[in-house]
Amino acid sequence: MDHFQYRGGILHAEDVPLPEIAAQVGTPFYVYSSATLERHFRLFEEALEGMPHLVCFAMKANSNLAVVATLARLGAGMDVVSGGEYRKARAAGVPGDRIVFSGVGKTREEMRLALEGGIRQFNVESEPELEALDEVARSMGLRAPIALRVNPDVDARTHEKISTGRKEDKFGVPIARAPEIYDRAAGMAGIEVVGVDVHIGSQLIDLAPFEAAFLKVADLTRELRARGHDIRRLDLGGGLGIPYARDNSAPPLPLDYGALIRRTVGDLGCEVEIEPGRLIAGNAGLLVASVIYAKQGEGRRFLILDAAMNDLIRPAMYGAHHDIVPVQEAPAGAEVMPWDVVGPVCESGDTFARARLLPQLEPGALVAFRSAGAYGAVMASEYNTRPLVPEVMVRGDHVAVIRARPSFDEMVNRDSLPEWL
Ligand SMILES: *Cc1c(COP(=O)(O)O)cnc(C)c1O
């Protein structure tokens, strides 16, 4: 469920008609619903109710300061994957002890930054990283709290590019080697073992791979405890999928995911951390664009929009589906026809959808991409010297621009000429 509904034939974000926002900020733009963000966060809170837990929003899904602050006010923790995300989390008011630091390539500078500012735990992904963290922490007279990210060799059965828990993926340490690495970590003066971490991929539409991974983590936890390690937290990662196409997919609900967590690791007495990104932000955002031209090609009809792959790269990068709907609802019984929905960028990959059934749309008409709140704006670029797409947040009938579209001067002034030109 989200808060983007038609009222009187016009698509709204909560209580605000989208054409009003388009008139104010121009197109294309992203718009987020505070109520949807909050609702999705609370679904996870409810799913884990009664268990010690922390829901850490995976900031890489949407790191706009206002989105992060909205969730932080509700008590969310953050899962960060860079020094930049760490600093943004802090800037949004998230205390260090609610931030977990993930990622395969943390630099020593990033480690220092987080240790200095306060950190709940580092999710360590390799032995060289563990050694580096030990050194950095010792040099600061500190002990770095860690969970080792284990790779359980479970196929998440999701898109190739977002599967992370198979042995051929670059993430984590092989679960079979974990005990010996924990033994090493226990001997490091700069390291404090606090838990185990796993994250097997994104956009999972089935609970079975989670179950397989969590059971392996539970076994490992028992083994580690038997070896004398104080495992008090389990970070079970993110990855719960969302319905991108309204009509045919029904991914598991957070409540069922929570029940699975209880069933698989609930008896261990650990504090559970989860790191949902997509499920919190995905359906809390739309990308709104205008039609520039409706063009009749050789046997195909093209709807050319002012949004492009640089604004929303998921279709080009993952072959991802986004529902695309007219902002002005077509009258009941209106004829629909197949359109190739494309952007203006000079690549054939700049295609959002092929043969998508939509009504006749005239230049200037607004369309909305649904489920664009996660891995949308954060992946945008200025490719083709197109200004970075702005972001807007709605709360009830309030509208706030939470990232303005840069002016041409701002864009061009970021470049500079060498002195010989
Ligand atoms: C990407 C990522 C997440 C979030 O995944 P979603 O599919 O957005 O829930 C969580 N944890 C880690 C370590 C990640 O890399």
Strand duo 16-17 + 191-197: pairing: unpaired
C-alpha 247 to ligand 1 mean position (Å): 25
pLDDT of res. 1: 62
Are residue 404 and residue 271 in the same domain, yes or no?
A: no
pLDDT for residue 247 is more than 70 = no
In a domain, 419, yes or no: no
pLDDT tens, residue by residue, 346-355 = 998 999 999 9
The percent of residues in the chain predicted with pLDDT above 70, rounded, is: 99
Across the range 134-157, mean pLDDT stands at 95
Are residue 274 and residue 295 in the same domain, yes or no?
A: no
Q: Is 145 in the pocket of ligand 1 (CB under 6 A)?
A: no
Are residue 62 and residue 194 in the same domain, yes or no?
A: yes
- The secondary structure of 22-65 as a DSSP string is HHHH-SSEEEEEHHHHHHHHHHHHHHTTTS-EEEEEEGGG---H
pLDDT of res. 8: 97
Q: At what angle do helices 208-226 and 254-265 cross, to 10 degrees?
A: 30
CA angle centred on 369, ends 392 and 47, rounded to 5°: 80
pLDDT for residue 164 is more than 90 = no
Across the range 135-149, mean pLDDT stands at 98
pLDDT for residue 248 is more than 90 = no
pLDDT for residue 61 is more than 70 = yes
In a domain, 421, yes or no: no
**Ligand 1 atom with minimal separation from the 275 CA:** 10
Are residue 256 and residue 354 in the same domain, yes or no?
A: no
Are residue 113 and residue 233 in the same domain, yes or no?
A: yes
**Total count of domains within the chain:** 2
Residue 53's CATH number: 3.20.20.10
Could you tell me if 391 and 64 are in contact, meaning their C-beta atoms sit under 8 angstroms apart?
yes
**Ligand 1 atom with minimal separation from the 61 CA:** 8
Q: Which residues are catalytic?
A: 346
In a domain, 343, yes or no: yes
Across the range 156-182, mean pLDDT stands at 87
pLDDT of res. 12: 98
Are residue 134 and residue 26 in the same domain, yes or no?
A: no
pLDDT tens, residue by residue, 187-244 = 999 999 999 999 999 999 999 999 999 999 999 999 999 999 999 999 999 999 999 9
- Mutation pick for ligand 1 pocket among 44, 121, 122, 199 (CB with most ligand atoms within 8 Å): 199
C-alpha 321 to ligand 1 mean position (Å): 19
C-alpha 246 to ligand 1 mean position (Å): 22
Q: How many Cα neighbours within 13 Å face the side chain of 189?
A: 7
Beta strands in 89-143 (DSSP E): 99-101, 121-124
In a domain, 420, yes or no: no
Write out the residue range of the structural domain in which residue 179 sits.
Answer: 34-280
**Ligand 1 atom with minimal separation from the 202 CA:** 7
Are residue 186 and residue 319 in the same domain, yes or no?
A: no
Are residue 148 and residue 179 in the same domain, yes or no?
A: yes
Are residue 39 and residue 8 in the same domain, yes or no?
A: no
Are residue 83 and residue 140 in the same domain, yes or no?
A: yes
C-alpha 203 to ligand 1 mean position (Å): 9
Q: Is 275 in the pocket of ligand 1 (CB under 6 A)?
A: yes
pLDDT of res. 169: 80
Q: Is 149 in the pocket of ligand 1 (CB under 6 A)?
A: no
